[in-house]
Amino acid sequence: MNVIETRELGKRYGSQWALRDCTLAIPEGHLVGLVGPNGAGKSTLMNLIAGLSVPSAGSVTVLGGRHAGSPAALDGIAFMAQDAPLYKNLSAADMIHLTRNLNRQFDARYARERLGALGIPLKKQAGKLSGGQQAQLALTLALGRRPQMLILDEPLAALDPIARQDFMTTVMTAMTDDGVSVLLSSHALAELERIADYLIVLGDGEVRIAGEADDLVAAHQMLSGPVAEADVLAARLAVVQDRRAAAQAHLLVKSGDQPVPPGWEAHPVSLEELVLAYLRAPGALNKAPGALGKSVPARIERAEVSR
């Protein structure tokens, strides 16, 4: 089952496209890392998937073909915004009571027991909880809906390292114990490399690359060799990033089936290196990013660097 499926999905505000030509097919059971600079279209995509916004073009379905925003889809999705929205003057117990009354299904007993296990007092006002406790309360309210998919918009940005680790432990436990699929937007590339097994990179409102993290990394490599031969090599390869010093060039390329040329060395790339390269690449490179089997036209982002 695909938990997210989009076809040429787009969202326009006035004459400006916040997202366009977005085509994805994401199987269930993944922790999907959604990456991109501010203004890349991440929140727009999440809002469309959650049914909080209506597409200007294309289509989006969730949880095996349910139309985003339909009652059936809403029952299976929990969304947690970046600012962990809570009524600051209400107690944790009041937030549980309110959430139960606003949703067609909500496991209040689970929510109370989970907060008790975390040592979060039910009678304390949400606004007087620590940042980590507020994030855990918001996450508990989301998980109490017993969703099939959990959408998290920058949930870690304001948390200290311990609170961040505790938060992600809860998310991973929900995936393992309850089979929850997760879409997580984050700027923390090092952390995503550790926890995400699927990746979507957005830039300028378009999908630049998407797929299972291990497959994406395996499909790319860094070629290092003499700068005098770089233009000839780059002309016949799908180059994502081209960095050159006075004597040596470093080309991050889609691997393909071609052997490494004589005089050149191939090195594996990390997920962080790959993401940064695609974020820096020109938009023309990104017209066929959705599947590894599709061809990507050779485009070069050249960075001349000194020794």
Output the pLDDT for position 38.
86
The 3-class SS string of the chain reads CEEEEEEEEEEEECCEEEEEEEEEEEECCCEEEEECCCCCCHHHHHHHHHCCCCCCEEEEEECCCEECCCHHHHHCEEEECCCCCCCCCCEHHHHHHHHHHHCCCCCHHHHHHHHHHCCCCCCCEHHHCCHHHHHHHHHHHHHCCCCCEEEEECCCCCCCHHHHHHHHHHHHHHHHHHCCEEEEECCCHHHHHHHCCEEEEEECCEEEEEEEHHHHHHCEEEEEEEHHHHHHHHHCCCEEEEEECCCEEEEEEECCCCCCCCCCEEECCCHHHHHHHHHHCCHHHHHCCCCCCCCCCCCCCEEECCC
Output the pLDDT for position 292.
37
Residues 155 and 117 in one domain: yes
CB 83 within 8 A of CB 115: no
CA separation for the pair 239, 234 (Å, rounded): 6
Residues 158 and 280 in one domain: no
Output the pLDDT for position 158.
74
- 108-127: buried (b, 16+ CB within 10 Å) or exposed (e) per residue? eeebbebbeeeebeeeebbe
Residues 126 and 42 in one domain: yes
The last residue of a domain, from among 171, 187, 212? 212
Residues 184 and 73 in one domain: yes
Output the pLDDT for position 85.
77
Output the pLDDT for position 257.
67
**How many structural domains does the chain have?**
2
The last residue of a domain, from among 191, 212, 233? 212
Residues 168 and 275 in one domain: no
The last residue of a domain, from among 154, 180, 212? 212
Output the pLDDT for position 188.
80
Spans of the chain, pLDDT less than 70: 256-257, 282-307
Output the pLDDT for position 223.
93
CB 48 within 8 A of CB 205: no
CB 142 within 8 A of CB 150: yes
Residues 170 and 223 in one domain: no
Give pLDDT tens digits for 64-92. 999 999 999 999 999 998 777 789 999 99
Residues 190 and 285 in one domain: no
Output the pLDDT for position 122.
96
Residues 205 and 226 in one domain: no
Domain of residue 163 covers 2-212
Output the pLDDT for position 255.
81
Residues 136 and 284 in one domain: no
Residues 128 and 229 in one domain: no
CATH number, domain of 168, equals 3.40.50.300
Looking only at the bridges linking them, the beta strands covering 149-153 and 181-185 are parallel
Output the pLDDT for position 290.
36
Output the pLDDT for position 283.
56
Residues 152 and 282 in one domain: no
Residues 60 and 131 in one domain: yes
